[in-house]
């Protein structure tokens, strides 16, 4: 009780930062690019323990004065010389206490997409690996790649996110190949063209590509109407959210 007869509030232990645990925080980049008709992810090979020889996602420690997005962009630029990521978004945070044998380290992963037009100058210990044929992975990084792949495939159905993987100008067969690689399934050029034009995702350049060595009718050129992420099918967003909720709840 205080002098006025009122009960004094007890200290809020939940807001006492001095009692909180101290542990590291790292950022990781799940960076995808379509290469030679296959969706690939950028990985670097570990040289030192733990798990030397295994492959991991590019990234590193979050500095005390950095934002997460700034940190992941810095690590991509400094460690693997990837400076032309066309789209970057926060993917998830992993917090399992035993995810890293060196001690508890939180990891915030980002999804990054690189256009087929970009050729990154990567170091010798870094390489692009097809997502359907990953090498032995370090820690929980293989699972994080799976999360990035699931996010990309979901967003391909209700956004224009393919703009970040495709070249700036393309024919419909070229764009179809990008979608096929990213989705891991076949798609009709005609159906893809109809859907994307109806949703106003792509637009005609009123130009044609140079004819190939076999000649034939020149193919029309297109581009994405926006170079920023946009929702193009709101109904699909709700369908995906409902399906994800059901999966989480164990509902078939």
Residue 6 in any domain: the answer is no
Two structure tokens written together for 243: 């399906």
Q: Are both 243 and 142 inside the same structural domain?
A: no
At which residue do the structure tokens 């030679």 appear? 36
Answer yes or no: do 145 and 184 share one domain: no
Per DSSP bridges, beta strands 59-61 and 87-94 are unpaired
The answer to whether position 12 is within a domain reads: no
- The residue segments making up the domain with residue 37 are 25-156
pLDDT in tens, 143-163: 999 999 999 999 999 999 999
Do residues 84 and 36 lie in contact, with contact meaning Cβ atoms separated by under 8 Å?
no
- The CATH number for 213's domain is 1.10.10.10
Distance CA 163, CA 223 (A): 8
For residue 251, name the pLDDT band (cuts at 50, 70, 90): very low
| Largest CA-CA distance found in the chain, in angstroms, rounded | 96
Q: Are residues 33 and 145 in the same domain?
A: yes
89 and 149 assigned to the same domain: yes
pLDDT (average), residues 61-88:
90
Same domain for 208 and 137?
A: no
Q: Omega before 208 cis (within 30°)?
A: no
Least confident span in 10-14, 119-123, 167-171? 10-14
12, pLDDT greater than 60: no
Torsion, Cα 205 206 211 217, to 10 degrees, reads 130
Domain assignment of residue 215, yes or no: yes
Task: Please check whether residue 10 lies inside any domain of the structure.
Answer: no
110/171 same-domain check? no
pLDDT band for position 252 (50/70/90)? very low
Query: Angle 114-55-149 (CA atoms, 0-180°, nearest 5)?
Result: 45
Give a yes or no: residue 13 inside a domain: no
Q: In a 3-state reduction of DSSP, which class is residue 162?
A: helix
Specify whether 61 is located in the same domain as 108. yes
Show which of 124, 156, 188 is a domain's final residue: 156
Total number of domains constituting the chain: 2
CA distance 206 to 174: 17
Give the end of a domain, one of 156, 180, 213. 156
Verify that 81 and 117 share a domain, yes or no.
Answer: yes
- Please name the residue that has the structure tokens 């090979």: 45
pLDDT at 8: 46
Q: Compute the mean pLDDT over every residue in the chain, rounded to the nearest whole number.
A: 87
pLDDT bucket at 196, cuts 50 / 70 / 90: very high
Which of these, 148, 158, 156, lies nearest to 175 by C-alpha position? 156
Contact by Cβ (8 Å): 138, 54: yes
CATH number at residue 135: 3.90.79.10
Alpha-helical runs (H) found in 93-229: 141-158, 172-183, 189-198
Residue 206 lies in a domain: yes
| pLDDT beyond 50 at 233 | yes
* Cα(24)–Cα(95) distance, integer angstroms: 11
Closest CA to 117 of 170, 195, 183: 170
Distance CA 115, CA 85 (A): 8
- Give me 107's structure tokens: 């990891």
Q: Is the pLDDT of residue 81 over 60?
A: yes
Do 140 and 172 belong to one domain? no
- Separation between Cα atoms, residue 37 and residue 180, nearest integer Å: 8
At 160, give phi and psi (nearest 5°): -95, 25
Query: What residues are paired with 39 via a beta bridge?
Result: 34
């Amino acid at each position: 009780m205080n002098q006025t007869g009122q009960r004094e509030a007890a200290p809020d232990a939940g807001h006492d930062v001095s009692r909180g645990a101290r542990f590291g925080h790292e950022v990781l980049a799940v960076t995808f690019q379509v290469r030679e008709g296959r969706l690939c992810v950028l990985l670097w090979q570990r040289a030192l323990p733990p798990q030397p020889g295994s492959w991991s996602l590019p990234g590193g420690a979050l500095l005390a004065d950095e934002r997460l997005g700034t940190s992941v962009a810095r690590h991509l630029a400094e460690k693997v010389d990837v400076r032309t990521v066309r789209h970057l978004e926060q993917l998830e945070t992993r917090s399992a206490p035993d995810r890293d044998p060196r001690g508890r380290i939180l990891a915030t992963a980002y999804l990054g997409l690189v256009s087929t037009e970009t050729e990154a100058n990567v170091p010798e210990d870094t390489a692009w690996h097809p997502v359907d044929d990953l090498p032995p992975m370090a820690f929980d990084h293989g699972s994080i790649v799976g999360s990035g792949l699931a996010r990309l495939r979901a967003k391909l159905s209700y956004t224009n996110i393919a703009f970040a993987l495709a070249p700036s100008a393309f024919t419909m067969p070229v764009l179809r190949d990008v979608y096929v690689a990213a989705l891991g399934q076949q798609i009709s050029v005609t159906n893809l063209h109809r859907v994307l034009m109806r949703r106003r995702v792509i637009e005609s350049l009123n130009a044609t590509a140079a004819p190939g060595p076999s000649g034939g009718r020149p193919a029309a050129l297109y581009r994405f109407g926006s170079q920023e992420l946009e929702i193009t099918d709101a109904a699909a967003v709700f369908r995906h959210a409902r399906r994800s909720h059901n999966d989480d709840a164990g509902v078939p």
